[in-house]
Amino acid sequence: MKIGIIGASGYTGQELLRILVRHPKVEIAYATSERFAGSALDEVFPSFKGILDLQFRKLSAPNIARDVDVIFTALPHGQSMDVVAECIKKGKKVVDLSADFRLKDAALYERWYGKHSCPNLLSEAVYGLPEIYRDEITRAQLVANPGCYPTATILALAPLVEGGMIAPTGIIVDAKSGVSGAGRSPSMTNLFGEVAEGLKAYSVANHRHCPEMEQELSLRTGKGVHILFVPHLIPINRGILSTCYASANEALSTAKASEAFQRRYGTEPFIRLLPSGAFPSTREVRGSNYCDLGVMVDDGSGQVIVISAIDNLVKGASGQAVQNMNIMCGFPEAMGLEQIPLAP
């Protein structure tokens, strides 16, 4: 099967290449980059030297539609929607890694991201979290790959929300992310000298991944879920840790909460539940598609604490995109995603 990657010279593009180049069922036929068109892949990413012989091209939607079967779009939000619409029209399967098709409500999209050029596609797009929408993804032509923070957070809270075990409001999510989440475009905010040996919050109670989490968790419970979301920037390359706090309904214990997670995720290939009292670390999922989860009910405060860890570039972006492609194409779901976490 022939694969095209639109916007392949950023970090999620690089990570798609890393995973797909060893995938037994696909061939990477096409990779675009406006910045590096004409350059060989191994000039832009020397880590691929001797592994993949490929040249970045300029984006040309007709060519893509002609030459490839499945398309990954790894463009910034706003730049993705038009090329996605064209590929969909040509009958191609698309996994879009931007935010352009994640929100169901066009007005909500506009408030956070700007004008949408093809709102009619919003209802057609399937939100690409396999642990929730596996069946829908099987039949989808367009998958909206979730954001990194929403992946970590929705997986942490879904079992409790679905089981009515926590109050849907008053939820606090204190999240921490490595710097690769900010992308590969040079800016003052992601310079080594501005980030290393530092630690800070940003977009406090005002991050555009929040409506995405609320949408999906509300759909799980039928009630409006409200989250206070505070992300922090941490000087590591890869990793998100999402520390979630919610009011436990009465009679919830750590044991019962753990059972709910076990029931919900027991057969999931990429979710690992830690034993009681243990909490995850990003280094133990780095480079892999795992989401590690630890849960505890604190009797004193009546809060449930769930902590999730993912690699933001894998389960939080490109790994999950390949997982979605596998489901869409009828391949084994874990194919190409067998990487063991790299520690140290």
Q: Quick one: 91 or 186, whose CB is closer to a second copy?
A: 186
Q: First and final CA of the chain: distance in angstroms?
A: 35
Estimate to the nearest angstrom the gap between the alpha carbon of 157 and the chain centroid: 15
Rounded least distance, CB 293 to a second copy, Å? 11
Q: Quick one: 61 or 152, whose CB is closer to a second copy?
A: 152
Residue 174, judged by CB atoms within 10 A of its CB (0-12, 13-18, 19+), counts as middle
Residue 14 contacts by C-beta under 8 Å, 6 or more apart in sequence?
A: 8, 45
For residue 148, indicate whether it is catalytic: yes
Nearest to residue 256, comparing CAs of 304, 309, 307? Answer: 304
Rounded least distance, CB 105 to a second copy, Å? 17
| Cβ atoms < 10 Å from Cβ of 219 | 14
Q: Quick one: 88 or 320, whose CB is closer to a second copy?
A: 320
Nearest to residue 145, comparing CAs of 272, 332, 314? Answer: 314
Q: Quick one: 107 or 188, whose CB is closer to a second copy?
A: 188
Rounded least distance, CB 254 to a second copy, Å? 10
Stretch (H or E) spanning 20 = helix 11-20
Q: Are strands 142-144 and 126-127 parallel, antiparallel or unpaired?
A: parallel
Rounded least distance, CB 28 to a second copy, Å? 12
- Per DSSP, 120 falls in state G
Stretch (H or E) spanning 200 = strand 200-201
Tokens 């790299």 label which residue?
342
Q: Quick one: 119 or 269, whose CB is closer to a second copy?
A: 269
Nearest to residue 337, comparing CAs of 273, 260, 285? Answer: 285
Whether 155 and 169 have beta carbons less than 8 Å apart is answered as no
Rounded least distance, CB 136 to a second copy, Å? 26
Nearest to residue 289, comparing CAs of 139, 148, 82? Answer: 148
Rounded least distance, CB 259 to a second copy, Å? 18
Q: Could you say which of 87, 148, 210, 291 is catalytic?
A: 148
- Per DSSP, 314 falls in state I
Q: Quick one: 19 or 142, whose CB is closer to a second copy?
A: 19
The set of catalytic residues is 148
